[in-house]
Amino acid sequence: MKFEHTKLTLLFLFIAAFAIWQTVNDSEKLAGREYVKQVEGQWVPADEIDRQAGIAQVSTSRSIGLWVGAFFTLFIFSFLYKDNPFYKMAESTVVGVSAGYVMVVGFWTTIIPNLLGKLTPGLIQQWAMPGLSPEQAPGAWVYIFPLILGIMLIMRLVPKASWISVWPLAFIIGTTAGLRMVAFLEADFLSQIENSIVPFVEIDETNSVDYWQSFQNIFSVVSILACLVYFFFSIEHKGAVGKVSRFGIWILMITFGAMFGMTVMGRIALLAIRLEFLFREWLNLHL
Amino acid sequence: MKRTVPLLIAACCGVVLIITAFIPATVSWGETATVWFDILAAIAFVLGGGNLLKIHLKKVSDRAAGWAYSLITVLAFLITLTIGLTKWSVPPATDQERYGETFATLPLDDLPKSLTFTEQVDLDAKYAREELPDSVKRQLQLKQENDRIVSLIFRGWMKPGQAQELLAAHQNLEWQSAIESLAEKAAVPKSMRGKVIYHADHEVLSAAGVLTENGEKELLAMEASDNWDEAVRTLTEKTHRKTTFQLREIPAHFKIPEQFAGQVKLVDQSLELTGPLTPAMQNAFTNIFPRSRPMSKKDTKDFVQKVATLDGGLTKEQKQLFTALLGVSWNADQLIAVLDEAGKSKPVIKTYRELLKEKQSGVRELEPTKPSTAPDIKLNKQQIKFIRDNVDNQQYDLGNLAGDLKERGDWNTSQQQALGKFLQKAPTIGARNKLICLALTKGKSKLSDAQYSYLLEPYRVEHLWNGQIYDLLVKSHEVKYPWSGAYLQTGSPFWFAYEYAFKPLTATMFSLLAFYVASAAFRAFRAKNFEAFLLLGTAFIVLLGRTFAGAWLSSLVPDTLPMLRVENITIFIMSVVNTAGNRAIMIGISLGIVSTSLKILLGVDRSYLGSGED
């Protein structure tokens, strides 16, 4: 074992020892455990009042889950130091679990109700969806086509027949191109232009000119046009066009700066949530 | 062919979908294509899973570098997949299980002939050409002669929901009158109403609660056929199964409700139940706890004082809050207003047959209701006085209020129902005390163990009892659809994989980006030129505007210059400059997508076909 790995192992052992110590000695008896109560057959998280009332109990399985989640979080954070076996272990787990998760979600939310539920409603009703009508809807037989296309897609796993998987792929690409083209023209192109057409002189409730709003409207329209000029590469950006496109670049830079700021804030918020999970939910430490 | 066919498929699908977007009758094709797309995407996940297994299993079998991590991936994948696909340990969906009902399989064709109901009609044949609601397709037949519908034939009993769907299917009085008559004919006989029903979609005869000896006889008398007899006998046998449930604790004032005394017995610490526990029984069993009601000033003071004298005491603020919370309840005036409102006679809804008759007699403007013949009932002085005198008297049982008011004046069933609903809306004493504890322990305020114990005892007893009754409901129930539960049901192993592995791992990975974005920004953002300065400056202002430092800096700006406040600068950047920049980008993206789509559909861009080497 490399020296770095030994150091990390010792660090995790130290954290585990501290967490055990905190779990045992926590005066509120909240660290390292999850309390649940039963409501209509469901075990749901219990609050302080439930604990005081004596209806909450420590859930062994969820407490183990809490510890697993906490160590997974720490393993991922360990990558900040450098790549290591703990991180790789967590990474391998997330790949496996994510792949399994999306397959399960796809199966229960799409394949069962939208494919098999349409082709064999009686069978699916008896098995998994009692609320489904056993009568096949008129024209539902056409769902045999996505089934055939799906099977053709899976043929990708068979080397000799993998060429056939391009057919369903062509269907996916073709429908996406057709649907997206119309949707983007409607939702983005036309609606964005429509929303950009604003009055240059804004009148407020007292029938006087709202100078600030008017300035904002003019600035907004000029900025959009300037950005579009910058995107227009058919003419050389020289002279007046060059100046306008340079103003467009400034607007785009401010936009990217704002986007960057928002992204950083989002990530920091996520980080704060993870730290809160470790310190409050796991260790019950209110620093 | 390997390249031409896919090109044609892509072009045809895309062009057809573009054309259908402009034809109103074919707009739904786009929706269907989206569903097909989702199906293929879900199947593509199978492909992804297969590839994942192929790659990692090869690595494991070759003992290649990092094979142990591949093994972890494979195990995590297979475990998650197995527990998710099999819905391991997922209980059936409570809203699909029809608690309290017992099923016996009975195909539609085996229903007694007496359960075929015919309504002679004379309706336009257009109703036969249109789609019938799914719920009645199996049971309703429209018989036609000479291009007219001459009779409606219904197999089995019609459920109220089915009647509603049929009535709503065509907004035409002739149709609705015919359905109304048919629904009356096909209703479950009065003596059996609420006790048996036939679910045609599931082809089962169902009984609610216990099928009594008389009920069994009545059903058997309908027809002497083997299948029918067997279904009825099975139902009787199943509904007489005994369930014994050991109770951990019984509320002091619990008594078996009289209407269920024949089905449930309390023997020592056990409930002995015949048949399944119905939702009505569950409701009656759990609705036994007193509810909060107005309290007199003296009672309020005594209650607060009692808690204050327990270990720990109460601060002045806690006492004031406690008193105020106890005062938040319904009052006599509200109850009187509700009962007076309920006493007013309501207009009677006309039947469709009445409306049709009016229409045929030449009435042009049809009114859906007619005035009630019943007089308005208003509470008299004696009744009002009784309510005022007793609602805050803790010794008086509000369960007797309906009877006492009836003795003192006019009273009708609608008032009785309104009274029941009104009292049910109030929280139980346990729920009220829980809210009081929550309020009294907000912030740094605390309660002692003795105070908690005193206040929360009703909540504990109620929670425990309701839990036991729910357990009895489940124990006495025969599971009908074991696979109907949600795949991500809380507490199931798949939920555990999601909650304690997938969620923390993915959230932490994304949160790591905070460090890398900051580090990348530190290295990349150097104000080398004006454009870089703009980007850096905007990011700084946006970040500052969402921190305490931003608020503090803004406080230093004089009130005469509000535009220089950090939050106002941020608002200007986000709402004007950022919006303008984003609009230009989105217009550019949409044009890019349009051109890319056209290139694909016209076969100019063929990159999705691959190199053709595999």
Which residue in the block uniquely carries the two structure tokens 């905007």? B538
**Closest residue, chain B, to A162 (C-alpha):** B614
Cα B129 from Cα B145, distance rounded (Å): 14
The answer to whether the Cβ–Cβ distance between B78 and A100 falls below 8 Å is yes
Quote the ipTM score. Answer: 0.90
> For residue B355, is it within any domain?
yes
- Structural domain boundaries of chain A? 3-82, 138-196, 198-287
Does a structural domain hold residue B96? no
Q: Is the pLDDT at B527 greater than 80, yes or no?
A: no
The number of residues in chain B equals 614
Position with higher pLDDT, A243 vs A3: A243
**Mean pLDDT value of segment A11-32:** 96
Buried b (16+ CB within 10 A) or exposed e, B303-312: bbeebeebee
pLDDT at residue A113 in the model:
96
B329-357: per-residue pLDDT in tens?
899 999 999 999 999 998 999 999 999 99
Q: Which residues of A fall within a CB distance of 8 Å from B601?
A: 174, 177-178
Mean per-residue pLDDT, B381-393: 93
**B483 belongs to a structural domain:** no
Length of chain A: 287
CA of B87, closest CA in chain A: separation in Å? 10
Predicted local confidence at residue B552, as pLDDT: 87
Across the interface, whether the CB atoms of A170 and B521 are under 8 A apart is answered: no
Yes or no, beta carbons of B542 and A257 under 8 Å apart = yes
Q: Answer yes or no: do A177 and B597 touch at CB < 8 A.
A: yes
Model pLDDT for residues B389-403, shown as the tens digit of each residue: 999 888 899 989 999
Q: What is the pLDDT of residues A101-115, one digit of tens each?
A: 999 999 999 999 999
pLDDT for the residue B428? 95
Chain B: residue whose CA lies nearest to A223: B580
Q: Which positions in chain B touch A143 (Cβ < 8 Å)?
A: 36, 39
Residue of B nearest to A171 (CA): B10
State yes or no: pLDDT of B612 exceeds 70. Answer: no
The reported pLDDT for the residue numbered B175 is 95
- Kindly state whether residues B122 and B235 are assigned to the same domain: yes
User: Rounded CA gap, B508 and A273, in Å?
Assistant: 9
Residues of A in contact with B469 (CB under 8 A): none
- Looking at the DSSP bridge assignments, the partners of residue B348 are B370
pLDDT at site A163: 87
CB A223 to CB B581 under 8 A?
Answer: yes
* Contact criterion met (CB < 8 Å) for A182 and B21: yes
Residues of A in contact with B6 (CB under 8 A): 166-167, 169-170
Q: Give yes or no for a contact between B451 and B306, defined as CB atoms under 8 angstroms apart.
A: no
- B426 and B314 within one domain: yes
Residue B579 and residue B506 share a domain: no
Closest approach of A207 to chain B, Cα-based (Å): 24
Q: Which residues of A touch B503 (CB under 8 A)?
A: 69
Which residues, other chains included, contact A95 with Cβ-Cβ below 8 Å and sequence gap of 6+? B52, B73, B76, B77
Q: What is the mean pLDDT of residues A55-65?
A: 96
Does residue B77 surpass a pLDDT of 90? Answer: yes
3-state secondary structure of B553: helix
Domain finish residue from B258, B286, B314: B286
Nearest residue on chain B to A129, alpha-carbon basis: B484
Sequence letter at residue B580: A
Identify whether residues B141 and B260 lie together within a single domain: no
**pLDDT given for residue B294 in this prediction:** 92
Residues from chain B contacting residue A149 (CB–CB below 8 Å)? 36, 40
DSSP A162: G
Instruction: Indicate whether B32 and B151 sit together in one domain.
Output: no
Q: Given A49, A125, A224, which is nearest B456 (Cβ)?
A: A49
On chain B, the residues whose CB falls within 8 A of the CB of A216 are 572, 575-576
How far is the C-alpha of B210 from the C-alpha of B216, rounded, in Å?
Answer: 10
Residues of chain A in contact with residue B575, where contact means CB-CB under 8 angstroms, are 216
- The closest CB to that of B583, out of A40, A149, A196, belongs to A196
pLDDT tens readout for residues B279-308? 999 999 999 999 999 999 999 999 999 999
Across the range B396-412, mean pLDDT stands at 93
Q: What pLDDT, on a 0 to 100 scale, did the predictor assign at position B614?
A: 47
* Nearest CA among B285, B249, B246, B284 for reference residue B267: B246
Q: What is the pLDDT of residues A117-137, one digit of tens each?
A: 999 999 999 999 999 999 888
Question: pLDDT per residue over B136-176, tens digit each?
Answer: 999 999 999 988 999 999 999 999 999 999 999 999 999 99
Of B23-32, B410-419, B495-504, which range is least confident? B23-32
| pLDDT, averaged across chain B | 92
Same domain, B107 and B236: yes
Rounded Cα gap, residues A22 and B411, in angstroms: 64
Give contacts of B286 with chain A, Cβ < 8 Å.
none
Give me the mean pLDDT over the B111-122 stretch.
94
Domain shared by B236 and B311, yes or no: no
What is the average per-residue pLDDT within A173-197?
A: 90
- B451 and B546 together in one domain: no
Q: Is residue B91 part of a domain?
A: no
Beta carbon pairs, A and B, within 8 Å: 454
Nearby residues of B257 by Cβ (< 8 Å), 6 or more positions away: B281, B284, B285
Task: Mark whether B425 and B552 lie in a shared domain.
Answer: no
Chain B residue with minimum CA distance to A189: B587
Distances (CA, A) of B438 to A52, A74, B238, B279: 11, 34, 46, 31
**Residue A153: which H helix or E strand, with range?**
helix A144-154
B373: closest CA of chain A, how far (Å):
42
Chosen from B103, B500, B526, B533 to mutate, greatest number of chain A CBs within 10 A? B500
Subunit contact A130:B484, Cβ cutoff 8 A? yes
- Shortest distance between the Cα of A21 and any Cα of chain B, in A, equals 22
Domain holding B124, by residue range, is 101-240
Averaged pLDDT for residues B30-40: 91
Same domain, B325 and B470: yes
Smallest CA–CA distance from B286 into chain A, residue:
A40
Q: Could you say which of B61, B85, B109 is where a domain stops?
A: B85
pLDDT at position B381 is: 94
B546-576 pLDDT, tens digit per residue, is 888 888 888 888 888 888 888 889 889 999 9
| pLDDT score at A48 | 92
| Average confidence (pLDDT) over A189-208 | 90
- Asked whether residue B549 is domain-assigned, the answer is yes
In a domain, residue B292? The reply is: no
Interface test with B, best of A34, A81, A254 (most B CBs within 10 A): A254
DSSP state of A203: B
Phi and psi dihedrals of B242, rounded to 5? -95, 145
The 10s digit of each residue's pLDDT in B184-208 is: 999 999 999 999 999 999 999 999 9
pLDDT above 90 covers what percent of chain B? 76
Report residue B48: phi and psi, to 5°. Answer: -60, -45
Per-residue DSSP letter, A108: I
By C-alpha distance, which of B576, B244, B287 is closest to B430?
A: B287
Tell whether B327 and B450 lie within a shared domain: yes
Query: Would residue B397 count as lying in a domain?
Result: yes
Tally of domains within chain B: 6
